[in-house]
Chains A and B, each alone.
Chain A
């Protein structure tokens, strides 16, 4: 079984091909956000170097959100285009799950944090049990303080990773009462290899989508929709009709 995986959900752009238990190739770049220009050339490089026949892949896995709205769409549109052209299914891998999967069999809790601006993070709480990733709290968008309170309540040691670490490092030191650590450089950001490995499991479980069905999971409505909802709520409270 061969899985092609794409992750352009954050600042990292990453493409990987995993065949069964072997990573055939991975190309990961953490340099400026120019995914529209880099993602397909990266795939092309992998195809050339590994003499990959695209027709030989079984599915296309994609980091399907949350993340940068535009970044997610570049990854999803690329995956949808490949799926349509190659007539292959897609596997939508939640971004935060894939981040957690980087820390296979780690002890204690795993907590990826992605900077979601406005002092919020995209996060989730995970643990490995019997070599399997268990989700204790599904990925969600939260004020970082809310997350830290939750971790304090759980009272267990936790390993953080993700692009939110440098942003919230000081706040964590200040507010967190449980033992914690930060994952090292090779596993602390998005990697398409993790998307592919986790995607392989989902694929075997039959958790696939068609190219037509697939859309990213943003975890947030657009700013315009949020503001409109707030306006309507305010008007409702003021007793006026909309």
Chain B
């Protein structure tokens, strides 16, 4: 059978990325131009700055992805692109670029849901993984517990009621002076701290046992810091980071294990930027081992925003026959499973 080659483009937040993917599972190239240093000055991603950087870098990134893969546009079967959710101005750069390339080369255009991309990152390094499986998606903007019923088909079991897990990490990191991006910095500092030093609340949502809430633990951390400041006590930042991280990770793992049991799922995957958190990976792996579940997780490079995962998701949409028109728009609040 002839190989299927897809060029994928991702620009939903602060990474400009392009990748060439063969037959949905083999990554021929994976180019990521990160803007993190630029946004650090502002303590978070500035949408207009991100959009400007995308347009500056995008053609260079695509050229690199094609040359790393050793292919030209003439070898491709389709163009995949993230069209939501994300920052609208940032998404629009990738969408307009992808449409123009696909149009000029008379190639099919496949719009991809960013979070479906994150889930699909698991297929890259686990050739044996196929739906159905349970997936915990955790990033700066999303916290979802879903059953992946088939390629591109999801049943959402739980979601966050307030902050995304990654958002809580960012806010706590800012409060203890670690800066942006918070996740990796909290994770690193936690290694020097005692996770049982401070007990932070773990929110349970009465009517939906799979839902999450992280604003409570975030507030508890901020209160703890305020209280210490007022009484003149010194805060042990490493203990605080480790204890906060444990509170978040425990809930993520507990809810995932509960859903696995309730729905009889034996394959468990994690995805999204926070899935590269060392403590989460270790805790989830241990819980899976204890319950005799198979555990799947992407390497950190495929957890961060990247276009390889978009290419994988695009492939399964492409073989199902999904095609988008030249009027494809960016959809900043695109829902999971929506087309």
Using a CB–CB cutoff of 8 Å, the interface residues on chain A facing chain B are 34, 36-41, 43-44, 54, 69-70, 73-74, 76-86, 211-212, 215-216, 218, 222-225, 228
Q: Which of A36, A76, A86, A222 contacts B55 (CB 8 A)?
A: A76
Q: Are A225 and B92 in contact (CB under 8 A)?
A: no
Q: How far is the CA of A83 from the CA of B59 in the complex (A)?
A: 10
Q: Are A70 and B89 in contact (CB under 8 A)?
A: yes
Question: How many chain B residues touch A (Cβ–Cβ < 8 Å)?
Answer: 37
Kindly identify, within residues 167 to 204 of chain B, every residue whose CB is under 8 Å from any CB belonging to chain A. Answer: none
Q: How far is the CA of A84 from the CA of B58 in the complex (A)?
A: 11
Q: Are B329 and A224 in contact (CB under 8 A)?
A: no
- Which residue of chain A has its CB nearest to the CB of B9? A81
Contacts of B89 in A (CB 8 A): 69-70, 73
Contacts of B220 in A (CB 8 A): none
Starting from the known contacts A34-B329, A84-B63, 4 additional A-B residue pairs (CB-CB under 8 Å) come to: A36-B330, A77-B94, A80-B55, A211-B59
Q: Smallest CB–CB gap between B51 and chain A, Å?
A: 6
Interface majority SS on A: helix, strand, loop or mixed? helix
Q: Are B329 and A80 in contact (CB under 8 A)?
A: no
Q: How far is the CA of A225 from the CA of B50 in the complex (A)?
A: 12
Contacts of B100 in A (CB 8 A): 40, 77-82, 85
Q: Smallest CB–CB gap between A1 and chain B, Å?
A: 19
Q: Which of A40, A77, A211, A223 contacts B93 (CB 8 A)?
A: A77
Q: Smallest CB–CB gap between A69 and chain B, Å?
A: 6
Q: How far is the CA of A32 from the CA of B97 in the complex (A)?
A: 22
Given A41-B327, A212-B60, A212-B63; A54-B55 close (CB under 8 Å): no
Q: How far is the CA of A45 from the CA of B330 in the complex (A)?
A: 21
Q: Are B326 and A228 in contact (CB under 8 A)?
A: no
B62 interface residue, CB < 8 Å from A?
yes
Q: Are B327 and A77 in contact (CB under 8 A)?
A: no
B98 interface residue, CB < 8 Å from A?
yes
Contacts of A73 in B (CB 8 A): 51-52, 54-55, 89, 92-93, 96
Given A69-B48, A228-B42; A38-B327 close (CB under 8 Å): yes
Kindly identify, within residues 89 to 111 of chain B, every residue whose CB is under 8 Å from any CB belonging to chain A. Answer: 89, 92-101, 103-105
- Which residue of chain B has its CB nearest to the CB of A224? B46
Q: Smallest CB–CB gap between B95 and chain A, Å?
A: 7
Q: Smallest CB–CB gap between B97 and chain A, Å?
A: 4
Contacts of A81 in B (CB 8 A): 96-101, 103-104
- Which residue of chain A has its CB nearest to the CB of B53? A215
Q: Smallest CB–CB gap between A75 and chain B, Å?
A: 8
Q: Are A40 and B326 in contact (CB under 8 A)?
A: yes
Q: Are A85 and B105 in contact (CB under 8 A)?
A: yes
B68 interface residue, CB < 8 Å from A?
no
